[in-house]
């Protein structure tokens, strides 16, 4: 049995509460679980029966696998605030990024199987610890399981905004399920070019999918809104990781965001790439280095030139860039 959460949040009504009160959330659970029978929870469309615990690319069957849940102080200031972001880090992934920094978690699915009641208990525990939000990391392949767990958590008192921290390699079915549940969408926009997406993440359709899903996320929640203390409450926050040799296509990504979403889209241009996973002196040698300060400055410049007005203000420490 779940322990009722005692911590109340003042003045904020999460999106999912309305769905819960109207009974719509329970209907979403039915649709979500049905999606697992012939899985199209992400654009891979594997159509395996995950209800029978079969799995495919994401290596995740009936239940989500959680690598860790903790209070995270490394996220953007508007998410971590002063009490941290309540992170639930899922194992398994539907992408195959050769430079993955969490190879053992994402590729080898290291973690603990978490049925709905366990997942709900984690959300409540993070709320009890005072976190500002529940931050689902690498959730693309476990949207049905998240939706299934949510009513249990809401019933026991969950009232924090939900952050959907995604690669943007999501299916439209999953985003329909999440409409009215997620308060803050935080997608990456990883690559502009499909050849780069094929080579480095085994997903040639990634750019096309990301353009479609990020647009839908923005339609659902709009530009990022914060409270009077600078903590994110609702909206879209896009992340873009600058890669060596501009394989991410920063200029095109920034122009697209300004043109197709809004010049006031909140964008974090990130410099923290480092070689990991399969990248080595013998494989993928062209990305076997950190991003140069000049490359990062150029990427920032591209974002400003595109007309974007809300760039995350935390900047990398260049003495860590080699
Ligand atoms: S979530 Fe995606 S990768 Fe996983 S089984 Fe379903 S369609 Fe395949």
Nearest-atom number in ligand 1 for the CA of 94 is 3
- Between CA 281 and CA 314 the distance in angstroms is 31
Helical (H) or strand (E) element with 85: strand 85-90
Q: How confident is the model at residue 1 (pLDDT cuts 50, 70, 90)?
A: low
φ/ψ (deg, to 5) at 212: -70, -45
Ligand 1 centroid to 57 CA: how many Å? 6
Read off the pLDDT of residues 288-300 as tens digits, 9 standing for 90 and up: 999 999 999 999 9
DSSP 10-49: SS---HHHHHHHHTHHHHHHHHHHHHTTTT-SSTT-----
State the pLDDT at residue 108: 79
- Between CA 92 and CA 90 the distance in angstroms is 7
φ/ψ (deg, to 5) at 270: -105, 145
State the pLDDT at residue 121: 98
Q: How confident is the model at residue 322 (pLDDT cuts 50, 70, 90)?
A: very low
Bridge partners of residue 311, in order along the sequence: 267
Q: Are strands 64-72 and 112-114 parallel, antiparallel or unpaired?
A: antiparallel
Read off the pLDDT of residues 230-249 as tens digits, 9 standing for 90 and up: 999 999 999 999 999 999 99
Whole-Å CA distances, 280 to 35, 45, 286:
38, 31, 9
Ligand 1 centroid to 138 CA: how many Å? 13
Q: Which of 101-105, 163-167, 179-183, 305-309 has the lowest mean pLDDT?
A: 101-105
| Best probe residue, ligand 1, of 94, 140, 168, 206 (max atoms within 8 Å of C-beta) | 94
State the pLDDT at residue 11: 76
Q: Whose Cα sits closest to atom 1 in ligand 1?
A: 141
Residue 81, pLDDT > 90, answer yes
pLDDT, average across residues 197-203 = 98
Contacts of 150 (CB under 8 A, 6+ apart): 16, 20, 25, 29, 120, 158, 181
Helix or strand or coil: residue 105?
Answer: helix
pLDDT, average across residues 252-261 = 98
Q: Whose Cα sits closest to atom 4 in ligand 1?
A: 58
Q: How confident is the model at residue 10 (pLDDT cuts 50, 70, 90)?
A: low
φ/ψ (deg, to 5) at 55: -145, 165
Q: How confident is the model at residue 120 (pLDDT cuts 50, 70, 90)?
A: very high
State the pLDDT at residue 103: 83
Mean pLDDT estimate for the chain: 94
Q: Which of 2-16, 50-64, 151-165 has the lowest mean pLDDT?
A: 2-16
């Amino acid at each position: 049995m779940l322990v009722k959460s005692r911590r109340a949040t003042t003045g904020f009504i999460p999106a999912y509460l309305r769905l819960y009160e109207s009974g719509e959330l329970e209907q979403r659970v039915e649709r979500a679980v049905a999606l697992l029978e012939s899985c199209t929870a992400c654009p891979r469309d594997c159509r395996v029966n995950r209800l029978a615990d079969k799995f495919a690319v994401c290596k995740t069957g009936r239940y989500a696998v959680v690598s860790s849940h903790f209070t995270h102080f490394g996220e953007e200031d508007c998410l971590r605030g002063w009490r941290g972001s309540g992170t639930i880090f899922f194992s398994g992934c539907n992408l195959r990024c050769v430079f993955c920094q969490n190879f053992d978690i994402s590729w080898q699915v290291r973690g603990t199987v978490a049925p709905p009641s366990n997942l709900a208990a984690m959300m409540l525990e993070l709320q009890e610890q005072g976190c500002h939000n529940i931050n689902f990391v690498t959730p693309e392949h476990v949207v049905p399981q998240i939706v299934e767990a949510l009513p249990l958590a809401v019933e026991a008192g969950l009232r924090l905004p939900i952050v959907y921290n995604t690669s943007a390699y999501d299916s439209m079915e999953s985003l329909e399920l999440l409409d009215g549940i997620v308060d803050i969408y935080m997608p990456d926009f990883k690559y502009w070019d499909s050849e780069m997406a094929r080579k480095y993440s085994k997903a040639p359709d990634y750019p096309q999918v990301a353009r479609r899903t990020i647009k839908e996320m923005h339609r659902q929640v709009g530009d990022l809104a914060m409270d009077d203390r600078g903590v994110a409450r609702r909206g879209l926050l896009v992340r873009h990781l600058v890669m060596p040799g501009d394989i991410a296509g920063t200029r095109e990504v920034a122009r697209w965001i300004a043109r197709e979403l809004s010049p006031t889209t909140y964008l974090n241009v990130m410099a923290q790439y480092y070689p990991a996973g399969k990248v080595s002196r013998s494989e993928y040698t062209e990305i076997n280095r950190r991003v140069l300060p000049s490359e990062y400055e150029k990427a920032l410049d591209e974002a400003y030139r595109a007309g974007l007005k809300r760039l995350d203000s935390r900047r990398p420490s260049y003495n860590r860039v080699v």
